Amino acid sequence: MEADLKQINYAYMSTAPARAEMTAQPTPAPAPAAVMVLNANAAPPLGHEPQRMTCPSCQNVMQTRLAPRANKNTHLLALILCLTGLVCLVPLPYCLKSCRSLDHYCSCCNQYLGKAVN
């Protein structure tokens, strides 16, 4: 029983590419240019004072209402004061303006408009 063993040359088995496969391949299309999108309707940054603006919800021109609220830094500072044994100073972060964030709301429909930039 003699097996017919003929040498088969596959392209992936050889180190040099086969001559039949050296045809010119199409060049890839150039990447599209980057596009910058500008939002013309972007709201101006909100500050620490009430601001006059148009509400995006009710379309009324009004002055914003400010509401201070405790944030995670306020609670973290209170926890640190509690853990260090300064229990009598725990309410201090909740009384300081610098430890709370200010939220702007519409004075007509009470819609949340944004947070004051520090």
Segment 71-100 shows an average pLDDT of 91
Identify the residue with better confidence: 90 or 29: 90
pLDDT of residue 81 exceeding 90: yes
What DSSP letter does each residue of the chain carry, written as one string? Answer: ----------TTTSSSPPGGG-PPPPPPPPPPPP-----TTPPPPP-SS--EEE-TTT--EEE-EEEEEE-HHHHHHHHHHHHTT-GGGTTHHHH-GGGEEEEEE-TTT--EEEE---
Q: Residue ranges per domain, the chain?
A: 49-118
Question: pLDDT tens digit string along 31-70?
Answer: 677 766 665 556 667 888 999 999 888 888 999 999 999 9
Q: Where does the pLDDT of residue 6 fall: very low under 50, low under 70, confident under 90, or very high at 90 and above? A: low
* Range 84-101 average pLDDT: 90
Banded model confidence at residue 4, pLDDT cuts 50, 70, 90: low
Confidence of residue 2 (pLDDT cuts 50, 70, 90): low
The whole-number pLDDT of residue 21 equals 55
